[in-house]
Structure 1
């Protein structure tokens, strides 16, 4: 039977057991220091391990949550003249388990010539972008930025439904129709 324990919970008497990982000794008790599964290991063969050892092993995987400064991968879901609304898909290389929303405001698209930025010339719904988390923003979404060379659109489909190829930092081309579309393109690592 697996027993899930929480921090501070008494696991055993310190006179009868050794404290293992995820535990501490408080007064005469071994207590849990994290949430996880209580495990008792039998006494070892060496002289130092004369008693069984109690430890707490984390259960499951810690949730992936975006934090300020993290690089995220997101899909553009809608745009308007002031911002692009996105759904965050990954934090770094780790996929998120639940839905996180974000916005890229017009002033956060690029670092220069901010007054000339047009959202519809930078992103389109369905584009996949690499962005950095600026802040938590409001209760509904994270504030993101693409104002660095390595940030911006990393994947886009043309009107013909074909993955587009970057031409420059502000243009992508459909390899089938040769149509050129404006985007804020991420500089890919060489």
Structure 2
């Protein structure tokens, strides 16, 4: 079994010569890596096309895919973030993601200000728009169900949503602007 190191977005081969396996995607007749890891080619019998797969060194059972709902932690004022979970399942390792200004809301995109939507440390539900580049996934919160689900005030208390664009600190009663998610029952875990 052949094994080489590859990065997300790296072209691995042609669909004429290989089948796309786990950890890969097909675009314009070529197979690309979906994650950083090791490229593996499976041995085949005569007449079969070998399958290309990419496996992470730290094998994660879940990988963000286009249209997946992911849970992220905002890490920067320009809303770069760390993907912590996919479709409610925790990841062993984080993936990098980015929410661009134009992907925060579905309407009035020209009036969006990132710092009024997300702050570093916020936990956000987002959807994967595309694989982006080799550095990160492109994410969106331009749906009512997506946005900030957990945030802390400067007093260290969890903020409580009061509208689609505001949260309040129950201790100091200070209001803070956020792009608040309308959390669906599917995403609420009860203990």
For the aligned pair, the TM-score class normalised by the smaller chain equals 0.5 to 0.7
State the TM-score, normalizing by the size of structure 2: 0.66
Task: Work out whether 1:166 is the aligned partner of 2:161.
Answer: yes
Supply the RMSD in Å over aligned alpha carbons: 2.2
> How far apart are 1:126 and its partner, in Å?
0.3
1:151 equivalent among 139, 142, 146: 146
d(CA) in 1 for partners of 2:129, 2:171:
37
Report if the CA contact (8 A) 2:60-2:92 is conserved. no
1:71 counterpart residue number: 69
1:110 equivalent among 105, 114, 134: 105
State the TM-score, normalizing by the size of structure 1: 0.66
Structure 1: give runs of 5+ residues left out of the alignment.
1-5, 10-25, 28-32, 36-60
> How far apart are 1:137 and its partner, in Å?
0.5
d(CA) in 1 for partners of 2:136, 2:184:
28
Task: Work out whether 1:89 is the aligned partner of 2:87.
Answer: no
Task: Work out whether 1:121 is the aligned partner of 2:116.
Answer: yes
Distance 1:62 1:163, change over 3 A: closer
What does residue range 22-37 of structure 1 map to in structure 2 within 5 Å?
A: none
1:48 counterpart residue number: none
d(CA) in 1 for partners of 2:67, 2:142:
13
d(CA) in 2 for partners of 1:94, 1:7:
28
> How far apart are 1:112 and its partner, in Å?
0.2
d(CA) in 2 for partners of 1:167, 1:109:
19
2:26 counterpart residue number: none
d(CA) in 2 for partners of 1:70, 1:186:
16
For the pair shown, which has the larger CA radius of gyration, 1 or 2?
1
The ranges of structure 1 where at least 4 consecutive aligned residues each deviate by more than 4 angstroms after the TM superposition are: 6-9
Task: Tell me the number of residue pairs that the alignment of Structure 1 and Structure 2 aligns.
Answer: 136
> How far apart are 1:147 and its partner, in Å?
0.1
Task: Work out whether 1:178 is the aligned partner of 2:176.
Answer: no
